[in-house]
Amino acid sequence: MLQSFLGLKGAPELVAVTLALPDGAAVTVEVSKNATISDVLPLLDREVQLPERLFFGLLAPKDTEKHFLDPNDSLRKVLGQPVAEVETTTGRLGRKHWRLQLQLRYHPPAVVMREWSPMGKTWLLHSLLAELLAARLQVMQDVAVSLGALAAQVLAGDYEESRHADAQYLRSMRVQPDQDERLTRAIQHRHASHSGMITSANALDEFLNLCCEQELYGVGRLFETAPTPDREIQQVGCSARGVHVYAHDQRVVIYGWSRIQRMHYRSKNFEITLKTPPSEFEPTDFFFATSALCKAVWSHCVERHAFYRIRNTSLRGDVQGVPIGATMFEASRIARRNSKMLEQASLDEARRRSSNWTSSTGSFESHVSLDSLIRGAEGEAIRRASAAPSKNVARTPSFAVAIVAFEPQGDRDLAFRPGQVVRLTKTDEHDWWWGAIGPQSGRFPSRCVTRLDQDLSRLVKAKRDHQGEMSFPAGAILSLEETSRDVPAGMLFGRFGSRTGLFPQDVVASLAPTTKPLSQPLTQQVII
């Protein structure tokens, strides 16, 4: 009472804030009762220490509309008064509590995601699984099978008959809201085929890359326009690439962030001004049913334009001298000061895409973004590497076998299917190798193949699925090995992954170009 009479205030009341993380874990921090979101974020960063945290945002519990909280929002205003929850162990009222959830807010482009930390990639996987289950990321049936099997490889490890035969483990990693038993069994069968063929880390990268290739990756919310006499109904959304426009479930156009000069709205009309060469501007507009909806579209687009054009985290390995978690401004300053290669790449990028740029001396929006510099530098490095003779070309042929399919994303890429043998020509880069299949040559991700350091005559490829003493799927690569067992006529003894056993000779074919019949080797072979 004396403190109240004198007008003195005691220590502020502390409230526990529990933050649900994307992977199902949770952390608890303490803040004052008058705290804002900006007070919670430093405490969260200290607890999780994730370089990619800027791509994630805070939501109120059970917010399905994805209204991410602003740093200036008051916790009491957004969440109401903190509630004292009943402790399960004692049955008594515990301390007062607020609850928040951390979810993916901005989807990283592939060039940035490639450099994410393992924890960041795992959080991204859980976030994308939630989007698949909520149908915010829609995929074809065959893609759903691939994604489900890769997710199972990451979260459950190699398929084991004793643990995974009933497919119950797949209930917690569904990839479609209406996933039926047939789809679940297809995912289980595909997961079994990955056993011994792909690691969990490679499966995680493959899952994220496959998601990045989908049409609606990162688009999230779509805003529907109002019909007009001269224009049909369209849907407008945003991603790391730019503003997407759809009609009749088909993409009409993507206005890349680098092409956009200005975005503004008036009443129910949202207008985008695009750069056109040499110095003209092409306006395009969209009409919405209400002014509030129009403003929401404008705010949604401006927010993402600012993030993807200004901020860029986890660029380690892409730009020399850029610290982890640097903002786009910091990375740009370092690149301009230290990297002549990036400066040259920006000029090359500007020449190749002259239809998208105006003078680089104008406003901020007309500058080449750091993403473009990175892509240009990577393309320049590949061009120089392919033009100059490599010091790393093997004097004797070196081979690798494809463990997953790779679809080319550019003219220099080499496509292959699982089981195909690639002759390696250049392997000095960690992420990308160069090789050839017959007359076709190009680059491909090193994670998509496994190197063969053996004589090809002692390697065989499965022509079809086989169930027996040692089961394996079609396309599997096996090594023939020495054994003290009696090998019946028409049978072979070999190794598949970590398993060994007998299998019929007629279900496999030799990888070596020979007409001699298959026979058991005389020496023990290296495990692949």
In three-state secondary structure terms, 310 is helix
Torsion over CA: 259, 261, 263, 264 (sign): negative
Q: Say which CATH number the domain at 63 has.
A: 3.10.20.90
> Residue 438: inside a domain, yes or no?
yes
293, part of any domain: yes
Q: Is the pLDDT of residue 173 over 90?
A: no
The three-point CA angle 276-281-282 to 5° equals 85
Strand partners, 57: 103
Boundary-marking domain end, from 310, 338, 357: 310
Question: Could you give the CA distance from residue 185 to residue 286 in angstroms, rounded to a whole number?
Answer: 45
Contact 227, 237 (CB under 8 A): no
- pTM to 2 decimal places: 0.58
Cα separation, 211 vs 222, in Å, equals 18
476 shares a domain with 437: no
Residues 381 and 430 grouped into a single domain: no
- Least confident piece of the model among 41-55, 90-104, 257-271: 90-104
First to last CA, the chain: 78
Does residue 244 belong to any structural domain of this protein?
Answer: yes
CATH code: domain of residue 498? 2.30.30.40
145 and 97, same structural domain?
no
Higher per-residue confidence, 92 vs 445: 445
Give me the number of domains the chain comprises. Answer: 6
Do 238 and 166 share a structural domain?
no
526 domain-assigned: no
Does 412 lie in the same domain as 378? no
Please report whether residue 525 resides in a domain.
no
**Contact, 353 vs 256, CB < 8 A?**
no
Q: Residue 63 pLDDT more than 70?
A: no
Q: Are 450 and 403 in contact (CB under 8 A)?
A: yes
Task: Please report the pLDDT score of residue 287 as a whole number.
Answer: 93
pLDDT of residue 221: 86
* Per-residue pLDDT at 218 exceeds 70: yes
Per the CB < 8 A criterion, the answer to whether 314 and 324 are in contact is yes
Based on the domain organization, do 54 and 88 belong to the same domain? yes
**Residue 371 pLDDT:** 44
- For 369-467, list the strands marked E by DSSP: 398-402, 421-426, 432-437, 440-445, 449-452, 459-462
430 falls within a domain? yes
Does a structural domain hold residue 7? no
Domain boundary, last residue among 212, 237, 266: 212
- Indicate whether 305 and 336 sit together in one domain: no
Q: Domain range for residue 356?
A: 328-387
Based on the domain organization, do 448 and 461 belong to the same domain?
Answer: no
Q: Is residue 302 part of a domain?
A: yes
Interacting residues of 1 by C-beta distance below 8 A, sequence separation 6+: none
Phi, psi angle pair for 58, to nearest 5°: -100, 140
